[in-house]
Structure 1
Amino acid sequence: MNSPAGPPNWNRRKLLLASATAATTLGLGSGAATARTSAARNRGDPFTLGIASGDPDPQGFVLWTRLAHDPLADDGRGGMPDRTIDVDWELAEDERFHRIVRRGTARAMPEWGHSVHVELDGLRPGREYFYRFRTGGHLTPTGRTRTAPAAGSLSRPLTVCTASCAAWEHGYFTAYRRIAEDEPDLVLHLGDYIYELGHLQYPLLSGIARSVTGFQADNLAEYRRRYAEYKTDPDLRLAHRTAPWVVIWDDHELDNNWAGDDPELPQPDFDRRRAESFRAYYENMPLRASNRPQGTDMRLYRRIRWGGLANFHMLDTRQYRDDQACGGLVGPCGTESDPERSITGERQEKWLLDGLRDSRARWDLLGQQVMFAHHDTLDGPLTMTNMDTWDGYTASRRRITEGWLAAGVRNPVVLTGDIHEHYAADLKRDYSDPDSPVVGSELVTTSVASGGDAEDDEFTGDPDNPHIRFHSGMRGYLRTRIDAERLRADFRVLPYVSRRGADASTKASFEITDGVAGPREITPS
């Protein structure tokens, strides 16, 4: 594994990262099924949406693909026949599949959008694996994935890239390619993987020539088409097949600023829309069967354990929250501090606090959507806060913070997306008291594309928010390297997204030392 400070060993991964042509030359071996029919061949490549893996544990992970001959077909069925298709898969210890450890056949069913979710277990912990799929004479490029280390293991550093917010019509997805080149062990996607809004609601900020449906998606076919459009992007497909992903949604996978049972604006059929968007999300993500939606319910909060080094507590701050305070407008107005209000819901909050009490990991990271730290967005003596963030649920924030303090969590770190900007912040016990102790750290990743090209407006001090250590409004992603002694965070930025090919650079680097709360700026390498 390469250090984040240095370049990836691109030549070593050339077969993996540029292996599209390999799909036409490599076979699945004598034990695999051959092409089913000549008609299947004639329809064209069904793997237009790529492949992915996700949710690793010490024994296995999920392998994913979804078949679509015509990914943008109006009916959302991807040009697939209305029947189940057999899809062969293989798992190997090497890129050339000389050491195959597993193979099998999965069923891609039309009622689930011809998606495939293969859950593997019984594998070796802390190991790199390679996988591929085949059907109808078509073979995918090679994917790279890995199992988590054995319980308690601290032997190997962990590289994690975190991404969020990729509006198709605002820019190209170059950040995903730069993530792939970093060869991370894990990719966390913290939401807004797609935008349900079309360009008529979410204007073209970058002026780029990327087609998108004019009106917002509000049914299963349209959500499927929106995911398919995004997954036709080569940089996104590359990032998916380079490392296992752990995904969680925010609002735009369904409806802007939705909160529990409440849409942003009144709509008569929200339950139906919610259920269909959940279904499309599951069909298009490397999730386990335990995450499969049941109508309007889909449990996504879950815990990914990485040996004794890190626990990732992945939170859903949309499905169970109370409606935004102050009528969804800016605050404060008083109701945001109501002790009965919750952004997580009672059951998820208990699950999180129980997990923090039981944790023996060196680092506990909360992967979630909206800014956790207090954030006054108005210059001067008056205060203005965003009611869609934890500032709109201050009692909920206080319970979580007091919970990790009571549990004696060694290193609490909140990882956040949503806001389209980079931030590094101290987390305080009481934001109204300048002398209140620092009790944790927050690292916020900017957007992949949402917001379009941005000027460099970096700052490292804000008198209205003295706990915020760094901010940058440029596009990019967050790269972290975690070992037993420290967590290093590199805020990676792109000079533009209005055209492809931008190089990534490190705008700032911060370090969190084991046992010392709060990020400290260091010199980028």
Structure 2
Amino acid sequence: MTPPPSGRNGLSGPGRRAMLRMSGVTAGALLAGAGLAGASAEAAGPAVRLPDDPFRLGVASGEPAEDGFVLWTRLVPDPTALDGHGGMPPTAYDVEWEVAEDEGFRRVVRRGRAVAVPELAHSVHPRVTGLRPGRQYFYRFRAAGRLSPAGRVRTAPSARSGGGAFTFATASCQAWYHGHFSAYRGMAADDPDVVLFLGDYIYEYAITARNLWRRGVTLGEGHDAETNSLARYRVRYGLTKSDPDLRAAHAAAAWVLTPDDHEVQNDYADETSYYGLDPAAFRRRRAAAYRAYYENTPLPPAALAHGPDARFHRRLPYGPLADVHVLDGRQHRDGRPADAAEQADPARSLLGADQERWLYSGLRRSRARWNLLAQQVAVMRVTDSRTDQWDGFPAARQRLLDVLAEPGTSPTVVLTGDTHRAVAGDLLADFSRPDSAVVASELVGTSIASDGDGSATDGYAADWLQHPWTKFYDGHRGYVLGRVTGTELTADYRAVPYVEADADAPVTTVARFTVEADRPGLREAG
């Protein structure tokens, strides 16, 4: 599927306006929520006083660039109101924002205004520019006479800088009902420069007594039905973001997000429902899901869905050290193969032909010291039965491996989510020849809470550990904390011993690996 055309900044053009009408969002609403000036921007009238704190979902930042970032908040006094409006009246609200060099906001360097409109669930996504590279800033919002919590964020280093270092964390798979998000408490304390979220921010399943493993919580009405409409997606985001440690992690660093399947429906592929939902009905569901995803995360305005389509793949330069290639592994993929012959078909693609060309061009042209691929499902070979991963697309995987093996391609590390297990391994030039050259390494992060407490080993371990390219396996919950320099990338696998009982589990490092820029392959570090 070819991504729909857009203007230079992703916000203009007749095609864009038509798609916005399809999604029920006017161009004025988009501009207003982004804080962009223009005749079409919608102005807020006199604000209706709100009965409760409208910042109950917290604040967030995203898309760090060397001169700025995207800010986000959503006005929601009642996050799980069943109509999906969050307890907000159907009117627009002015939202003021400010960015300062100090936590006390004595040195404010940027101020602005966005308009929170009902069409976008009273969310705002202003882009802040004109800042200094490689610096920490603090930000906050004001609306309806109330002040938000403050967040902190770092701009990316300048492409002209001498290099230095930056830190990142990866996270994925946060089924609220399976456990507390205590891993995020450790992540916020680790203070990464950027968090790469690799999919499954919410889960669409009905929450019942059978799957509610998070202890010490009670649920009101409306959560025991599958999430399949705009209102229900909004409610599920409200429930998920009710976790205080998730909000703290958002407030601690800029996030760069890409979705996997559960933001819409388990194991979907392109416009095909895994469960046989009518195609037209599934397109409507995907449109609702993508819109709610935008409304509740610090994505740039260009990522707002046009009907059932959205542009999630993008490239973020991180100074001279890294180009971060953010991939979309769901929206353009072919479906599950009917048999082995179809599975091996060279025409099959997980990314789609257009995104493949975009990725390979970016890898070849990158002059950064490292390429980081932020994506959803395991690239390394596991078993041919895992057709939802890159194992289901062996020809497409080989095309990627061939590009990674080309002379001149910067050292590459693939950052992966999805599996609910922590796995570290290498990517070979040819997985059918275990003695072939290592062309990249892969860091598969475990879940934040999905599948509950977990354990060091489990029934899936043998599938992974049968291969010499797999260097580590652990089934606890947690995240990956990475540090990038010009000479090496270091990755700590951070884990908690449990998530179901309470939110007080300590975070520890269970393994550490390094990749040297001039020497391919993972090496265990002390």
**TM-score class, shorter:** 0.7 to 0.9
Task: Give the AA of the match of 2:257.
Answer: V
Once residues 494 and 206 of structure 2 are traced to their aligned partners in structure 1, the CA distance between those partners, rounded to angstroms, is 28
Counterpart selection for 1:468 from 450, 467, 470: 470
Tell me how large the CA RMSD over aligned residues is.
2.0
Match of 1:109 in 2: 117
The letter of the residue matching 1:359 is S
State the shift of 1:424 in Å: 0.6
SS in 2 for 1:326: coil
Residue 49 of structure 2 is matched in structure 1 by 40
2:142 match: secondary structure? strand
AA at the equivalent of 2:381: H
Q: How much does 1:447 deviate?
A: 0.2
1:518 has 2:521 as partner:
yes
Count of aligned pairs between the two proteins: 476
Quickly say closer, same or farther: Cα 1:326–1:205, change in 2 above 3 A. farther
Aligned-residue offset at 1:156: 2.4
Matched, 1:259 2:269: yes
* Candidates 228, 234, 242, aligned match of 1:232: 242
DSSP 3-state at the match of 1:40: coil
Q: Which amino acid aligns with 2:484?
A: I
Contact in 2 for aligned 1:410/1:515 (Cα 8 Å): no
1:444-499 CA-partner distances (Å, limit 9, x unpaired): 00000001012222989966211100000000000001111111110011001011
Aligned-partner SS, 2:381:
coil
- 1:4-49 Cα offsets, whole Å, 9 max, x none, are xxxxxxxxxxxxxxxxxxxxxxxxxxxxxxxx979515x1111111
Q: Distance in 1 between matches of 2:133 and 2:89?
A: 39
Note if contact 1:47-1:68 (Cα within 8 Å) is conserved in structure 2. Answer: yes
Deviates more, 1:200-209 or 1:361-370: 200-209
User: Are residue 315 (structure 1) and residue 362 (structure 2) matched?
Assistant: no
The match for 1:373 is 380
Conserved 8 A contact 2:382-2:463: no
In the alignment, the residues of structure 2 paired with residue 226 and residue 453 of structure 1 have an alpha-carbon distance, to the nearest angstrom, of: 22
Q: Residues 368 and 414 of structure 1 are in contact (CA less than 8 Å); yes or no, is this contact kept in structure 2?
A: yes
2 CA distance for matches of 1:461 and 1:107? 51
- Write out the 4+ residue segments of structure 1 that deviate beyond 4 Å after TM superposition: 36-39, 205-208, 458-463
- Which residue does 1:507 correspond to in 2? 510
User: Against the structure 1 CA distance between its residues 475 and 115, is the aligned structure 2 distance closer, same or farther, given a 3 Å change threshold?
Assistant: same
Aligned equivalent of 1:450: 450
- Given that residues 176 and 214 in structure 2 are in contact (C-alpha distance below 8 angstroms), is that contact kept between their aligned partners in structure 1? no
Structure 2 segments unaligned to the other structure (5+ residues): 1-44
Report the secondary structure of 2:138's partner residue. strand
Paired with 2:370 and 2:393, the residues of 1 have a C-alpha distance of: 25
Question: Which of 344, 350, 353 is the matching residue for 1:343?
Answer: 350
Relative to structure 1, the CA distance from residue 201 to residue 190 in structure 2 (aligned partners, 3 Å threshold; closer, same or farther) is farther
Q: Which amino acid aligns with 1:298?
A: A
Residue aligning to 2:92: 84
1:61-460 to structure 2, matched below 5 A, reads 61-200=69-208, 203-205=211-213, 209=217, 211=219, 213-268=223-278, 269-326=281-338, 333-376=340-383, 384-406=384-406, 408-457=408-457
**Residue 480 (structure 1) aligned to one of 475, 482, 499:** 482
CA contact (8 A) 2:178 2:214 kept: yes
Aligned to 1:20: none
- Matched AA of 2:285: R
Q: Partner amino acid for 1:364? A: N
Aligned mates of 2:466, 2:338 — CA distance in 1: 22
Task: List per-residue Cα deviations over 1:424-449 (Å, max 9, x = no partner).
Answer: 10101111112111111000000000
SS at match of 1:237: helix
Q: How many percent of aligned residue pairs carry the same amino acid? A: 48
TM-score under structure 2 length normalisation:
0.87
Instruction: Judge conservation of contact 1:461–1:468 (CA < 8 Å) in 2.
Output: no
Shift of 1:304: 1.1
- TM-score normalised by L of structure 1: 0.88
2:74–2:122 Cα contact (<8 Å) kept? yes
Q: CA–CA distance in 2 between the matches of 1:101 and 1:57?
A: 17
1:8 match: none
Q: Deviations over 1:314-365 (max 9, x none)?
A: 00000000001237xxxxx232211000000011111101111110111101
**1:420 is paired with a residue of what secondary structure?**
coil
How far the C-alpha of 1:104 sits from its partner, in A, is 1.5
Per-residue CA deviation, residues 198-229 of structure 1 (Å, 9 max, x unaligned), is 22498235666453811210000000000011
- Structure 1 stretches lacking a partner, 5+ long: 1-35, 328-332, 377-383
1:112 Cα offset (Å): 0.5
